[in-house]
């Protein structure tokens, strides 16, 4: 079998996921046996579905809620080069991250990932050397793994202020590094799922696995309440923080990571990320990450927790920690009233006998057995995790290393709104065509940056079944309450 596959073209009918296809696919799966059943529609599960489908296996993926319902939408949205792992001596993970970052940014999803400059402000000369050493090691990885990110550099105070005008007066200069930034983590999940669908995978959202065996699962359709059985030759549990509930060999520790969402104007409109070293450390940072559309995320905490799995929430202590961490670098300190909202997600970390969650390995584990469970890892390394898991099932070679996702390849039209090009890549023109001449659908809805056609596309192509799928997971307007209210109010007019 050849190792290259035809690329999925923009708007490929086989990649379109809507409610009718979901119903059809449920009926087809109920009357047949698939090669692989994947449980979980986060980045890990969709990555496995894509890997298996491209090796020629028949695949069904079930997700209890919606694509990217869990941790995969609560990340920092970075495609890491692995620098942070070097600091803790985890060279293997660092290398893996650097390689996968290059693949995502160059070939797999260049339409969803961009280079992002990261400024580490200096307050005195003592910080310069260790930070430069860290960036230098990251640069070795960058050069080894290839790619087009610039090398790190040293900046004067004036140069640093040009990038981050809101810097505190006592900043004496800065070091500039580079990493990858996703336009949105949930968009990556959806793009992988649609690409898997184009290669034949059946993507069944709102379908819960009630219990698993080595040859299938008892499933519940969360839209109708009906239960049914799916037969499979192989079953893969990719349910992240929920994994222990379906496989009692899995023992997880959960660590909550929280971000604040603020208007970029309230931190001086930075044009690059601001990485502020925690007191006494040159390798642990609180960071502000500017996004498109005038908002920034400030992260990140790491708090071990045993609280219930659904609906993780920031604690007061985490909010204060993040404010205390970022404010020393800002001329105008940020206060609580400027926080638009917060978001939190759980890192599913493999339990180990020693140490706190911050010390546990971030590497993924693939547990073989009647049911294969895949846990841990990073968004950045999803493809490698999938390759490792499917290697246990198939002897055919992996074909995803250089496989572009839908939207990555194709002609770009200059005549579509910037927001569509930024979020849909080569599919922007297909999305814009959903307006069918109604120019109002290419305008932002209310105070939000969302265009009407995005609501239509979410239901037509992106497996959005419920209103909340559209608002929270495709459009991400839950990150700014005012946007959410406006888009929810405008949705009826758009969708009829
Ligand atoms: C705060 C934070 C920031 C992070 N930032 C980054 C970053 O910037 N870059 C990076 O590379 N990594 C980052 N990570 C790590 C990365 O986000 C996670 O490793 C990754 O998203 C985990 O994906 P997953 O698919 O394994 O789990 P999830 O995304 O949680 O997916 C599991 C899915 O399984 C479903 N499910 C559960 N039970 C069932 C069932 N019974 N039946 C069917 N479906 C079920 C859930 O609904 C869920 O959708 C971050 C993690 C956190 C917590």
Which pLDDT belongs to residue 139? 87
- Nearest partner of 460 among 437, 486, 483, 427, judged by Cα: 427
Which pLDDT belongs to residue 260? 98
Residues 35 and 174 in one domain: no
When mean pLDDT is compared across 83-87, 98-102, 117-121, 471-475, the lowest value belongs to: 83-87
Strand, coil or helix: 369: coil
Does residue 354 carry a pLDDT above 80?
no
Strand partners, 288: 274, 298
Residues 332 and 372 in one domain: no
Cβ-proximal residues to 319 (8 Å cutoff; 6+ apart), any chain: 258, 260, 336, 339, 342
Cα-to-centroid distance, 240 and ligand 1 (Å): 5
Could you tell which of 44, 50, 61, 71 is best to mutate to test the pocket of ligand 1, judged by most ligand atoms within 8 Å of the CB? 71
Strand 227-237 and strand 371-375: pairing? parallel
CA–CA separation, 18 and 204 (whole Å): 10
Residues 258 and 331 in one domain: yes
Number of Cβ atoms within 10 Å of the Cβ of 165: 13
Does residue 313 carry a pLDDT above 80?
yes
CATH number at residue 238: 3.50.50.60
CA–CA separation, 351 and 95 (whole Å): 23
CA–CA separation, 153 and 131 (whole Å): 11
Cα-to-centroid distance, 488 and ligand 1 (Å): 26
Which pLDDT belongs to residue 156? 96
CA–CA separation, 386 and 398 (whole Å): 9
Average per-residue pLDDT for the chain? 93
Answer whether 87's CB lies under 8 Å from 135's CB: no
Which pLDDT belongs to residue 359? 41
Residues 145 and 265 in one domain: yes
CA–CA separation, 489 and 39 (whole Å): 34
pLDDT band at 310 (very low <50, low <70, confident <90, very high): confident
Strand 113-122 and strand 173-182: pairing? antiparallel
In a domain, 223, yes or no: yes
> DSSP letter at 174?
E
When mean pLDDT is compared across 2-16, 353-367, 405-419, the lowest value belongs to: 353-367
Residues 212 and 278 in one domain: no
Please, what sign has the CA dihedral across residues 378, 384, 388, 393?
positive
Could you tell which of 70, 96, 321 is best to mutate to test the pocket of ligand 1, judged by most ligand atoms within 8 Å of the CB? 70
In a domain, 107, yes or no: no
Strand, coil or helix: 253: strand
Could you tell which of 40, 186, 196 is best to mutate to test the pocket of ligand 1, judged by most ligand atoms within 8 Å of the CB? 40
Strand 227-237 and strand 33-39: pairing? parallel
Which pLDDT belongs to residue 132? 81
Residues 287 and 336 in one domain: yes
Question: For the segment 86-115, what is each residue's pLDDT rounded down to a tens digit?
Answer: 777 888 888 999 999 999 999 999 999 999
Closest approach atom of ligand 1 to CA 77: 8
Residues 232 and 262 in one domain: no
Answer whether 145's CB lies under 8 Å from 99's CB: yes
Q: What are the structure tokens assigned to 256, written together?
A: 């909550």
Q: Answer whether 386 contacts ligand 1 (Cβ < 6 A).
A: no
Residues 270 and 336 in one domain: yes
- Indicate yes or no: pTM above 0.95: yes
Q: What are the structure tokens assigned to 470, written together?
A: 């559209």
Cα-to-centroid distance, 270 and ligand 1 (Å): 28
Residues 22 and 35 in one domain: yes
pLDDT band at 3 (very low <50, low <70, confident <90, very high): low
Residues 171 and 260 in one domain: yes
Which pLDDT belongs to residue 362? 56
Phi, then psi, of 78 in degrees rounded to 5 = -110, 145
Closest approach atom of ligand 1 to CA 257: 1
Cα-to-centroid distance, 384 and ligand 1 (Å): 15
In a domain, 106, yes or no: no
CATH number at residue 169: 3.30.9.10
CA–CA separation, 10 and 416 (whole Å): 15
Does residue 223 carry a pLDDT above 50?
yes
Domain count, the chain: 3
Q: Which one has a higher pLDDT value, 30 or 130?
A: 30
Residues 174 and 261 in one domain: yes
Strand partners, 345: 257
Host domain of residue 436: 418-495
CA–CA separation, 186 and 163 (whole Å): 28
In a domain, 412, yes or no: no
Which pLDDT belongs to residue 490? 87
In a domain, 89, yes or no: no
In a domain, 157, yes or no: yes
Strand partners, 285: 277
In a domain, 405, yes or no: no
In a domain, 103, yes or no: no
CA–CA separation, 130 and 46 (whole Å): 39
Residues 176 and 193 in one domain: no
Does residue 84 carry a pLDDT above 90?
no
């Amino acid at each position: 079998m050849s190792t290259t596959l035809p690329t999925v073209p923009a708007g490929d009918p086989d990649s379109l996921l809507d409610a009718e296809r979901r119903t059809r696919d449920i009926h087809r799966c109920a009357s047949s046996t698939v090669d692989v059943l994947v449980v979980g529609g986060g980045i890990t599960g969709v990555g496995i579905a894509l890997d298996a489908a491209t090796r020629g296996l028949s695949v069904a993926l079930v997700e209890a809620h919606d694509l990217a319902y869990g941790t995969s939408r609560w990340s920092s949205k970075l495609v890491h080069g692995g620098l942070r792992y070097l600091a803790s001596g985890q060279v293997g993970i660092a290398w893996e991250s650097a390689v996968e970052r290059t693949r995502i940014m160059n070939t797999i999803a260049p339409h969803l990932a961009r280079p992002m400059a990261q400024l580490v402000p200096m307050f005195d000369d003592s910080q310069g050397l260790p930070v430069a050493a860290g960036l230098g090691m990251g640069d070795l990885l960058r050069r080894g793994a290839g790619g087009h990110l610039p090398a790190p550099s040293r900046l004067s105070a004036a140069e640093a202020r040009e990038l981050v005008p809101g810097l505190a007066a006592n900043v004496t200069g800065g070091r500039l590094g580079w990493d990858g930034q996703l336009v949105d983590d949930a968009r990556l999940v959806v793009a992988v799922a649609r690409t898997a669908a184009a290669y034949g995978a059946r993507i069944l959202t709102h379908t819960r696995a009630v219990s698993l065996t080595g040859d299938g699962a008892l499933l519940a359709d969360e839209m109708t309440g009906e239960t049914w059985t799916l037969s499979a030759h192989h079953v893969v549990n990719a349910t992240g923080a929920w994994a222990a509930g379906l496989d009692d060999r899995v023992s997880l520790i959960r660590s909550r990571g929280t971000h604040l969402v603020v208007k970029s104007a309230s931190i001086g409109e930075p044009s690059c990320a601001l990485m502020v070293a925690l007191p006494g450390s040159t390798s642990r940072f609180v960071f502000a990450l500017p996004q498109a559309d005038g908002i920034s995320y400030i992260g990140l905490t790491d708090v071990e927790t045993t609280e219930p799995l659904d609906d993780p929430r920031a604690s007061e202590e985490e909010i204060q920690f993040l404010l205390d961490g970022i404010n020393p670098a800002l001329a105008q300190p940020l206060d609580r009233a400027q926080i638009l909202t917060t978001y939190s997600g759980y890192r599913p970390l493999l339990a180990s006998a020693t140490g706190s969650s911050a010390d546990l390995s971030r590497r993924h584990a693939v547990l073989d057995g009647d049911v294969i469970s895949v846990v841990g890892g990073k968004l950045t390394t999803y493809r490698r995790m999938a390759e490792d898991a499917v290697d246990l099932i198939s002897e055919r070679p992996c074909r995803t290393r250089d496989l572009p996702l839908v939207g990555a390849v194709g002609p770009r039209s200059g005549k579509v709104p910037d927001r569509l090009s930024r979020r849909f890549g080569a599919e922007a023109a297909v999305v814009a065509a959903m307006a069918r001449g109604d120019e109002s659908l290419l305008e932002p809805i209310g105070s939000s940056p969302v265009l009407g056609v995005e609501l239509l596309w979410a239901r037509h192509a992106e497996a959005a079944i419920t209103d909340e799928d559209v608002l929270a997971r495709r459009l991400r307007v839950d990150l700014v309450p005012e946007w959410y209210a406006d888009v929810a109010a405008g949705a009826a007019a758009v969708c009829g």
